[in-house]
């Protein structure tokens, strides 16, 4: 078994994020290790996750418009089901809710950069924030 005690807080947060565990920056190292090993089931929610979810919903809703401009893990959204002349049909990957893909793998800073860099659409993203 991997010795999580050798990892620093940033590595532990990234491992949590990769495992789909929401943990806020500043969560004690011991708590992060307990989350990763299954000894603890709940963490203090990361406040950026609401923005992460909203951004993912925005991408899903406007994918045909933004897909050519997107150079991030959101490219994983694409499942090519059919190619028609001059048109590609894109569908959500079955069984993957928005919170479990793409933006979930990005750092908090990257999520906020996406929102700040897309000022023109920030209001559309914010509307999806729950």
Retrieve residue 106's tokens: 């990005």
Q: Where in the sequence is the domain holding 121, given as residue range(s)? A: 48-127
Q: How confident is the prediction along the chain (130 residues), in pLDDT tens digits per residue?
A: 688 999 999 899 888 877 778 788 888 999 999 999 988 877 677 788 889 888 888 887 887 788 778 777 776 655 544 444 455 444 555 544 444 456 777 788 888 998 898 889 999 999 998 7
Q: Is residue 43 part of a domain?
A: no
What is the reported pLDDT for 98?
A: 44
Is the same domain home to 56 and 95?
A: yes
Is the same domain home to 14 and 54?
A: no
Q: Is residue 42 part of a domain?
A: no
SS (HEC) of 33-95 = HHHHHCCCCCCCCCCHHHHHHHHHHHHHHCHHHHHHHCCCHHHHHCCEEEEECCEEEECCCCC
- How many residues does this entry show for the chain? 130
- Whether the model pTM is above 0.75: no
Looking at the structure of the chain, the number of domains it has is 2
Is the same domain home to 57 and 8?
A: no
Is the same domain home to 25 and 57?
A: no
Is the same domain home to 57 and 119?
A: yes
């Amino acid at each position: 078994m991997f010795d999580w005690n050798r990892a620093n807080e940033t590595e532990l947060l990234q491992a949590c994020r990769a495992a789909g565990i929401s943990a806020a920056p500043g969560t004690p190292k011991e708590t992060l290790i307990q989350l990763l090993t299954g000894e603890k089931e709940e963490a203090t929610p990361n406040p950026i996750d609401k923005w992460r979810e909203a951004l993912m919903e925005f991408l899903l809703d406007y994918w045909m418009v933004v897909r050519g401009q997107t150079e991030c893990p959101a490219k994983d959204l694409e499942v090519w089901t059919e190619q028609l002349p001059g048109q590609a049909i894109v569908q959500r990957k079955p069984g993957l809710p928005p919170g479990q893909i793409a933006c979930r793998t990005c750092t908090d800073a990257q999520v906020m950069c996406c929102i700040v860099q897309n000022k023109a659409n920030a209001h559309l993203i914010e509307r999806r924030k729950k």
